[in-house]
Every structure is written in C-alpha cells, then in structure tokens.
Structure 1
Amino acid sequence: MGTSTAVERTTGGGIGQRLAEICGERFARPAGMADGVAGAPAAWVAAPGTAEAVGAVLRAAADRALSVVPRGAGTKLDWGAPPSRVDIVLDTGRLAGVWHHSGEDMVAEVGAGTPLRAVQAALARTGMRLPIDAPSAEATVGGVVAADETGPMRHRHGSPGDRLFGVSYVDATGVLHHAGGWAAGETAGHDLARLLCGSNGALGVLVSATLRVQPVPASRIWVTRQVRSPLEMYNLVRLIHGSWLSPAAIEIDLPREGPTGSRGSHPAGSALVAGSLAVLLEGGQADVGGRVARLVELLEGDSRVHTAAPSWWGRYPFTADDVALRIDVPSADLHAAVYALRDAAGTPIPVRGSAGLGVVYAALPGYLAPEQIASILSVVRRVLLARNGRCVVLSAPPRIRREIDFWGQLPTLPLLRRVKERFDPDHRLAPGRYTGGI
C-alpha cells in the first residue's frame, strides 16, 4: 500500500480509481508483495478483460508517465533483469480462450492469458495440437511467446516465434495493432510479430497470438540411453544427426559427471554414469516402429524403449534458489561448453536440454558469492565466444541479481536500442527488462 500511495502523490492521484473504471472494481487493486517483478516492488495490479481495456490502461499510464509490466501466470516473472520501476502490473489472465480455430488453415487464435495446457486440451478434442511444450507447467500463451520459451520439441518444430502466424498487441500509447496473419504486408507483419518474441513485454502488450497447429501424431516413442560423459553424449548425438531418423527431440540430462560428481576419482573399470540421453520419435505407428528399431541398433549400449517420457523430460534443472543459465552453442561444441562450465565452477553443475540443437539449461549454486558467479560466467562466455555461442542468466537469487551481467557481450545492442526506441520511446513498458537491460 505504501508504494501505491507514493505513486498517487507523484502523479496527482486518481490512477487507482481510473484502473477500477477501466477494468472493474474487482480487477484493479493495490499490489502486494507477491506482485513484485524480479525483486522490484509493484504499485498497482490491473486485469483488463478486453483488448480495448488493455489500450485504456496503457493510455491511462501514458497520461501519468507510469510504467507497465505485463504478466501472464507469473511463471517467468523472475526471469531477466529487474525492471527499473513497476507502477502497474497488467495481468492478462482475463484475455483467455481459443478465440478462433481454423482446421482448413491449420491455425488457432488464442488469447494471451490462456494457459498453454488449456489450449492443448481444447485442440486435442479436434485431433490437433500446438507443437510447443514449454517447461513452465502453468505458463500462458502470452508468457511463452513473450519469453520465447521452448521445450524439447523445439528440435523439430522450432520456437514459439517459428509457430507464429500473427499477433494482436497494444503499444505503449494504447493503440491496438495486428501483425502477420492475413493482413496486408504479410512478410513485414510476420517480422514485426517475431520482434515481440523474447521481448518480455518491453515492446508491447500481447492480446492474442495466432499460431500454426498440426494433427496429433498417431505414435510417440522415447528411446533412452545412459551416457558416461559429455563427450559420449556428443558422439551419440552426431550419430543421430547423420542417421536420417527425423527425431522430434533429442534431450540430454547431465545431473553429474559420475557417482561422486568429479572426474578422475573412480576405480579403474568402474561404470560411471553421467546422465541420460532421450530421443523422441513421432509419426505413424509402422513408420515410428521401424525408426525405433534402427535407433536402438544405432545407440547400442543400454538403450530402452518407452511409451512415456522420462521423469526429467521437459523440466528445468534449476530451482528458485539457483542461478539459472541458458547456453546456446552449436551442438558440435556443446560438450566443450559443459566441460568449461563445470571446470569454471569447480563443482558438479546440472545441465539439461536440447542436445540436438545445443540449447541447454544449467544451474549454478545460489549460495556462491556474486563475484564467484561473475567469474564463472566470464570464463564460460570466453569459451562460448570462440565457438559462436553465448550464455545468459535467466534468473538469480535477489542478493546476486543486481551484481552480475545477465547477457554478456551483445553485438546487436545498438540494434536492440533502436527497436526499443521505435516501440517504446518513453521506456514505459517493462523498463530494463528488454535484452541488454534496455
């Protein structure tokens, strides 16, 4: 309540009343402690129920020079750098539903506040699916697009941005726009829509997304195999890449390097298990059956066939107490990146993600001092830079968050600044949340 009172004083008052007029008394309130964004306290929470109401909230904020941070289910609200201020949290939860589904065009328009699992359930009734499997279990479609959050199926089907057909969004001045889809200038519109992916709400407030869908495959089979080192992982993934088996996903789980978590400390001949490799094959039953047999033969070892995913599949290896990292590197260099990370940390570091693409997540211990985290990041980023890769921090405990560099070197930073200036010249939308802390 204290924060909201301060905002009232600096803006001449009336924002709470105006938000209630726009959204309804039940859907506008002073923010509480749980409404903070990456450690930054919020003043107000507003939940508009229509695109027009979203525009009205943003116009009211613009009139009073207030900042706005969009929020879906809040599953990734602690990702990224803290915003410089949070005057209004704009909750998109009422912008929910599968608004239009065209089986002929293989697209579905979905409200930004719709939980991804609800979309999948609705599409499944018509034999369709959205090939997006974000690990955040309660995530909304808007949150997944805004964070460009991907899961195992990114290997074959790409990121949420790759599935976008069009979007509707409200800009910082409160104007509703439609990009992509069947609108004039479709190519330019798609490029504009893609800019919103990964922007963390710093370029516009997503109202809906029109996404490409596909039929549910008749068969889904996972083949798993234990791996003894990141190098063995690399060799197996290389074999799969050269096999023409068309996997839907290739995932790796490396919780440790061995039973005691360190190299070179085990008796000769002992069977060390660093983690697991899992491959998903999808398609017709006969076709998948043949490819499974070929994959088992290719992987050898202790390969096993399953009709359900491993327990770790599609889950992040970190918790809220960890420093969460995302590493992007060519898959041929992923093993080198894993070794560099573990050597720099001097302790076993869990790594999990898409080995077939070289996109993985890792967890540094949150009890380390900020300067230790910074040193580890510096070493790993130097290794990755030489391999055309990068390492970004997704989230970190509060005592570390403001002391580290989330992004490392960003050659595209001047371009990102121009994009921000184009969409939000007054820096009112999620200020400081865009890539590079813009």
Structure 2
Amino acid sequence: MAAVSSHPIAGVTPSEVVTPASAGEVADVLRSTTGTVVPVGAGTKTGWAAPPTSCDLLLRTTELNRIVEHVPGDLVVVAEAGVPLETLQARLAEHNQMLALDPPEPGATLGGIVGANASGPRRLRYGTVRDLLIGVTVVLADGTTARSGGKVVKNVAGYDLGKLYTGAHGALGVLVSTTWRLHPLPAAAGTVTVPVADAAEAGRLASLLVRSTLTPTAVELRWDGGAGELVVLFESIPASVDAQSAAAVELLGPGERGTEPPPWFGERPTGGVVLRLAYEPHALPRVLAALPAEASGTASAGTGVAYMAVPADTDLAALRAAIASYDGSAVVLDRPADADIDHWGPVPDSFGLMTRVKDQFDPGRRLSPGRLLGGL
C-alpha cells in the first residue's frame, strides 16, 4: 500500500493520503485508524458533494484497478472500484459490448461514478448507475467486508447495497468492487438536430418525442442565453436508425441529420456556479424559465436532469423555491473557491431516515464527514 503526497479534497487538505491495492488493505486501513477517512477514486467529481468537515486520511482507490471477470455470454463484468471507465469500455469493446454509462469526466473510475451517481445522455435508454449495477463489495467503517448482489442480472437475496451506496460519496463505506449488467454495442448511430427558440419550444419538442413511438438513446438540449438546439440520438441497426431519424424530422420539423453527436454532447458546463438540476420531466420549460438569463449548459430532455452554469451571484434559494413544486432540486457541483454556498439545499422529510442509515453503517461518523445533505 502506497502513501502519496496530500492533495486538497473539495478545498480541504488531508493529513495523509493512502492508495490501498486490495480489499484487505482497505480493511486494514479502516481498522487501524480512529480519524476521519474520505474515500475517492480519481478525484474527477470531488466537488459533487459538500466539503468534508475534516479529513485525516484521504483513501484513493485508484490502485484497485483489476477487471476481475468478464462473462460475455452472460453480459456481466466484475471490476474493482479503481478501474477507469475508459479502460473497461476498451476491454468490453473487444467483445462488441459496453457498459451503458457515459459520464464525460476523463479518467473517472467505476467507484467514483457509483459514489457520485454520475451518468450521461444515454440514461434515457439505458438508465443510470442504479439500473446497471447488480453487485458490490464494500468495506465498512469497522473494517468488515460486505457483499450484495451477484453475477446475475436478477438477484433478490439480502439488502441492495448497490443502490444504497450509489450517490453516497463514500459516507457509508469504501466501495472496492463492482458487478455490472452489460449491453451489446449498437451497430449504427444517427442524430437529428433541431433549433430551439425558447423554453416553451424546448418543452413542446421534448413532449412530442416522449409521446411518440420513437425510441431514441438520448434527447439532449444545449441551452445558452434562453435558446439552443435539441439533438436526438438513435442507436440501433442501420435500417432502424435511418427510419427513426426520418420520422424524427417529420415529427419535429426542419432538422439536420448526422451520423454522430456534436462535440458538446454530454459535456458538463464550466464557469460560475455549476448546478445539477433534477425535476419532473414535463416541467422542463418551467425550469428553464426559472434560470437566470445567462445560464448555459445541457438538459436531458426526456429524463428531467440538467447541468447548468449560472452566475456566482445567483439567488439559489429563490431558484430552488421556484422549481420545488416540480419535485425540483438544485445541487452545486462546482463553485468559485471563495464562494460560501449552500451545497445541497433544503433538508427533505426523509432526513431522519438518512441519519439512521448513516449511524447504522458509520456510527462514529468517520467516513466522509459532512459531505452529505444536512451535514451527515
């Protein structure tokens, strides 16, 4: 197990950094320390949770980097938490398969993707981490190793730790291994790009697609200054892609057909305060209208998720209140270093349950302290 130089985590500098290379070494670390521990992968999404209240030990999982088992006939792969997504995809492509997750952060590891619940445009067709993760191995705060799920797509034995650890940012334990459901690589792809004049037009076009019989892989809206463009991605056999692209043009109006998404497709915005917005999909035009005029970013028009950069002086409390009636939330993913911003927003009614879960898995509150909603 290597000890490396310290790097700040969400602005907090750890006292020590370690990179264990096995689940056993992770367990040894947690058993041998009484201080606070913050687990991370490659560190590509450390801003997606609130800064830790303390970090005695930063535990990087990047040395847990083995692809343990790939069963092409079962469309299942087992890989350690530190495996970069790009590395796994390259290995799977040799067998004409893929893990149908496409978060854009370069170098992101499987464990970090699970911990941050990161996904990309293809969530519309394939779902998110919770839909594709079928098994996990974790090391709990006391050094105990726990497993859930298995190497089959349907597994109902025991608790579903995979769903619990998704989006937990290392606050419930250290994820050391993951098991995933895979999909075949599509044979062909095609896009239809349509200009969008305003928020109302964005909502109208998205509604037309949702109510149609078309089966797009993704429907992404690029938004900048109150207007933008909508890109519909189809992935299937060539004949289906061609027929659906033609039908989309007929449905949506004049549009430009292509063979691959534009460069901005799936990218996260930068600058100012970057937000992840979640809301009921039908409320897309209302959410766009509630944003500051300078807002820019992308929205997955069929799933109710958007990533938007807004000015640093944006009134987040007012924005959150404006979208609350659509089950809306606005979580800070990035911000200026000197900005004092409420990361998560209002505490929900379920906070009591969240507190009990945290205390069950980490009674000493040593893991990623303060990173979750409400300071958990």
1:387 shift after superposition? 1.8
Deviations 1:281-333 (A, max 9, x none): 111111111111101111112x11111211110101124xx211111111211
Determine the structure 2 residue equivalent to 1:361: 307
Match of 1:397 among 323, 330, 336: 336
Which residue, out of 293, 296, 306, partners 1:350? 296
* Equivalent position of 2:16 in the other structure: 44
Once the 2 structures are TM-superposed, how far is the Cα of residue 156 of structure 1 from its aligned partner? 1.1
Displacement of 1:56: 0.5
**Hey, what's the Cα distance between the residues in 2 that align with 1:359 and 1:174?**
36
Give the letter for the 1:289 counterpart.
D
The answer as to 2:245 corresponding to 1:292 is yes
Structure 2: runs of 5+ lacking an equivalent = none
- Counterpart of 2:280 in structure 1 is 330
Query: In the alignment, is residue 105 of structure 1 matched against residue 74 of structure 2?
Result: yes
Check conservation: 1:416, 1:435, Cα contact below 8 A. Answer: no
Root-mean-square deviation (Å) = 1.6
Task: Give the alignment of 1:70-149 within 5 angstroms.
Answer: 70-149=39-118
Native 8 Å contact 2:151 2:179 kept in 1: no
What's the % identity of the aligned pairs? 38
Q: Is the 8 A contact 1:181 1:189 kept in 2?
A: no
In 2, Cα distance between equivalents of 1:85 and 1:192: 26
* Distance (whole Å) between structure 1 residues aligned to residue 374 and residue 117 of structure 2: 16
One-letter identity of the residue aligned with 1:326: R
Q: What are the residue-to-residue correspondences of 1:176-195 with 2, within 5 Å?
A: 176-181=145-150, 186-187=155-156, 189=158, 191-195=160-164
8 Å CA contact retained: 2:136, 2:161:
no
**Partner residue, 1:162:** 131
Confirm whether residue 277 of structure 1 aligns to residue 230 of structure 2. Answer: yes
Whether 1:339 aligns to 2:289 is yes
Correspondence for 2:265 among 308, 313, 317: 313
Match of 2:321 in 1: 382
> For 1:165 and 1:181, how far apart are their aligned partners in 2?
6
Task: Say whether 1:202 aligns with 2:171.
Answer: yes
TM-score (norm 2): 0.96
Select the residue among 367, 370, 375 that pairs with 1:429: 367
Amino acid of the residue matched to residue 178 of structure 1? R
Unaligned runs of 5+ in 1: 1-22, 258-273
Distance 1:189 1:284 in 2: 39
Q: 2:49–2:343: 8 Å Cα contact kept in structure 1?
A: no
Distance in structure 1 (CA, Å) of the matches to 2:130 and 2:178: 10
How far did 1:182 drift? 5.3
1:407 Cα deviation from its structure 2 partner: 2.5
Deviation at 1:78, TM superposition (A): 2.3
CA distance in 2, matches of 1:281, 1:208: 32
Residue 435 of structure 1, CA deviation: 2.9
Alpha-carbon distance in structure 2 between the residues aligned to 1:66 and 1:433:
16
Q: What letter matches 2:264 in structure 1?
A: W
1:408 positional shift? 2.2
Q: Distance in 2 between matches of 1:116 and 1:391?
A: 26
Post-superposition shift, 1:74?
0.6
TM-score normalised by length of structure 1: 0.83
Give 4+ residue runs of structure 1 displaced > 4 Å after superposition.
none
Q: Distance in 1 between matches of 2:256 and 2:374?
A: 43
- State the Cα deviation string for residues 396-419 of structure 1 (Å, max 9, x = none): 223224x42523242211111111
AA in 2 matched with 1:309: P
SS of equivalent to 2:339: helix
